[in-house]
Structure 1
Amino acid sequence: MFSTFKALADPTRLRLLAVLVHGEFTVQELTGILGTGQSRVSHHLKILTDVGLLSVKRQGTWGYYRLDGDNPFFHAIRSVVEARLRKETAPGDKERMLATLEKRRHRSRDFFDRHARQWDNLVRNLLPMADYEKELLACIPRVSVVLEVGVGTGNLLAGLRGRAAKVIGVDHSSRMLELARQRVADAGLDGVELRLGEMRHLPVADGAAQWIVLNMVLHHAPHPQQVFYELARVLPAGGGISIADLCRHDQDWVREQMADQWLGFERQELETWLAAAGFEPVFFNRVSGNVNEQDTLLLSAVKIRQGMETHT
């Protein structure tokens, strides 16, 4: 307990915690947010990690610090401390933190705008994945409205239309949406509506979708936890989501060549985010790829309550 209070007594460490309460950041990002030298930031992060206030999620050569350590005393007082930290995040730190998240979003959107026409070939040739789409579609019940977040070039739309009377597709890249619209027209699909929007601010009314699909999109999200809160907003109780994404891997090159923010996910971290947003997992499967194919995870969950969103 004494070591915890000692760790919390330093103003720089409190600033770090006040930033990390909003999400996960690398040392380099935290250095820019605090406007402090990297060695100093690393020193304070080590102290906070050693006393169990922080943990580090390794993603290839990057490490993301999160306010999720194994300190029992801190867990007992966490809700009170977090509420205070959110209120007292220094205005300058919060502004730079939001700019950091915006930089992540811009990087992803600009990449997809530039490479939209080559995207399907890029995925197929650079990062081949296990064959999972039939199983993903089988996870989706027949409903009136399905929302696909990160619709891309629209290669899943025909399958989704077979599961719902109406399909709404959202993407943050206008170039991707152009290709998706052409695909819809060429296939003569009706009941499909495409919209420009961000994962964290979906252009969809509260409770307007019965089921949501995220197909290989979450690893591009600047802040995955916030995405789940937004998904909960547009679903009624009993509505659900189905996710297909990469299993955790060590292919660091995808950050530059594929604009990936995260090197896949583990089941436990997805289920933790889902639980915080009010979802209960109902299905999980790991689809193993052949030689040189990335393993894929499939997960479905149902909304059982409204989660308590942590506003950034």
Structure 2
Amino acid sequence: MKTTLPALFRLLADRTRLRVLGLLGREELAVGELARVLGLSPSRLGNHLRQLREAGLVQDRKEGTWTFVSLRKNGALPAELWAAVETELERSTDTQADLERLAEVLESRRARSRSYFDEVAPEWDMIGSDFRTGVARARVAASLVPNELIVADVGCGTGYLSSGLASIVSKVILVDHAPGMLDAARQNLEGARCELEFRCGEIDALPLADGEVDAVVAGMVLHHAPDLTAFFREASRVLKPGGVLVVEDLLPHREAWMRDTMADLRLGLEPRDLAARLTDIGFVDVVQDPVEDAYTPERPDGARVELPLFLIRGRKGPSESPENHP
């Protein structure tokens, strides 16, 4: 049943629900993360989320025992009313404190990932053996023709993707937030045929200048990313006009053990969601390509599981959308 305008006004008269919408307008959050930012008990937050969900303003996504909440695309809130919500939030004394606590939550995601990848860097070279055929790496490389490009390999790890790119591009800038991974990549790519640079930084705050690269590749990275939309905005910023973004990652799966064992923040990604985010930001010619390959990690019990992959690519449009409203 469609939510009436008077019902929406009553719903939005509560400041806590306004704060929830403001936070979810920036990033999908786990219920526990949202409660932490707002300083609410799970039961109190649950009541607010139930009302927002029933009004068609937010939606849930289950991953194992975790529940994530996000704004509902094309939800019940008209654009004019959303603009009024944003204006009210800008005036609110709660907003700055909420954003500071949100930044702490996102940084805790990054810190966990950095710590994990620094620890496993010496053994991470075996990742290549966890792909069924190795076709995925070849598909990423094939997306970047013509060659003579400057490419940023973000979340480069030990250089698995870069080793496939080095023979077809003129320069690769390898970016990772774990220094141990960059050290391993330097060793693995010694003698590479193209120019290499190694930079330490986060994928949602890339250590790259505006318009520095022709292409950005992100292989098996975004399921570790704390803020997907921030990464796509950063990719657009560092790309030259018409530059290409290529993402290769896992489709949604149910291997919840990977959250603890491999520091995964997401159990795979939905390509349609990524395509919508890219389009909203200003990418054009966004397409999903099939990948005849699978990631085959070893479960804690020793059995291997086969997880399907996808590849999505888009081109930076002539201008980036300055805002991204629901």
Give me the TM-score of the superposition, normalised by structure 1.
0.91
Instruction: Quote the Cα distance in structure 1 between the aligned partners of 2:323 and 2:48.
Output: 28
Displacement after TM superposition at 1:91 (Å): 2.7
Instruction: Quote the Cα distance in structure 2 between the aligned partners of 1:220 and 1:17.
Output: 24
Match of 2:236 in 1: 232
Match of 1:199 in 2: 203
Secondary structure of 2:78's aligned partner? helix
Secondary structure of 1:239's aligned partner? strand
Instruction: Quickly say closer, same or farther: Cα 1:69–1:158, change in 2 above 3 A.
Output: closer
Unaligned runs of 5+ in 2: 297-304
1:183 matched to 2:188? The reply is yes
CA distances 1:158-192 after superposition (whole Å, capped 9, x unpaired): 3212232111110000000000011122x444401
Instruction: Quickly say closer, same or farther: Cα 1:163–1:87, change in 2 above 3 A.
Output: farther
Instruction: Quote the Cα distance in structure 2 between the aligned partners of 1:83 and 1:276.
Output: 21
1:212 matched to 2:225? The reply is no
Displacement after TM superposition at 1:303 (Å): 0.6
CA distances 1:206-248 after superposition (whole Å, capped 9, x unpaired): 0010111001111110001100000110012211111100011
Instruction: Quickly say closer, same or farther: Cα 1:280–1:59, change in 2 above 3 A.
Output: farther
1:21 maps to which of 19, 25, 28? 25
Instruction: Quote the Cα distance in structure 1 between the aligned partners of 2:27 and 2:137.
Output: 31
Match of 1:150 in 2: 155
Secondary structure of 1:15's aligned partner? helix
Instruction: Quickly say closer, same or farther: Cα 1:120–1:60, change in 2 above 3 A.
Output: farther
For 1:265, the aligned partner's letter is: L
CA distances 1:255-275 after superposition (whole Å, capped 9, x unpaired): 111111111111210011101
1:301 matched to 2:306? The reply is no
Instruction: Quote the Cα distance in structure 1 between the aligned partners of 2:10 and 2:133.
Output: 48
Q: What are the residue-to-residue correspondences of 1:77-156 with 2, within 5 Å?
A: 77-86=81-90, 88=92, 89-121=94-126, 124=129, 131-141=135-145, 142-156=147-161
For 2:141, the aligned partner's letter is: L
1:60 maps to which of 41, 59, 64? 64
Instruction: Quote the Cα distance in structure 1 between the aligned partners of 2:287 and 2:276.
Output: 15
Match of 1:261 in 2: 265
Instruction: Quickly say closer, same or farther: Cα 1:288–1:62, change in 2 above 3 A.
Output: farther
Over the matched positions of the two proteins, sequence identity in percent amounts to 36
2:39 maps to which of 35, 39, 46? 35
Instruction: Quote the Cα distance in structure 1 between the aligned partners of 2:83 and 2:40.
Output: 28
- Are 1:129 and 1:289, in contact at CA under 8 Å, matched by a contact in 2? yes
Unaligned runs of 5+ in 1: none
- Are 1:52 and 1:69, in contact at CA under 8 Å, matched by a contact in 2? no
Runs of 4+ aligned structure 1 residues displaced above 4 Å come to: 122-125, 127-130, 288-291
Match of 1:222 in 2: 226
Instruction: Quote the Cα distance in structure 2 between the aligned partners of 1:130 and 1:195.
Output: 26
Aligned residues: 308
Displacement after TM superposition at 1:56 (Å): 1.5
- Are 1:276 and 1:308, in contact at CA under 8 Å, matched by a contact in 2? no
Match of 2:299 in 1: none
CA distances 1:76-135 after superposition (whole Å, capped 9, x unpaired): 53344335435535332222111111101101111101111122336745x868741111
Instruction: Quickly say closer, same or farther: Cα 1:33–1:128, change in 2 above 3 A.
Output: farther
Instruction: Quickly say closer, same or farther: Cα 1:32–1:152, change in 2 above 3 A.
Output: same
Secondary structure of 1:203's aligned partner? coil
For 2:206, the aligned partner's letter is: L
For 1:4, the aligned partner's letter is: L
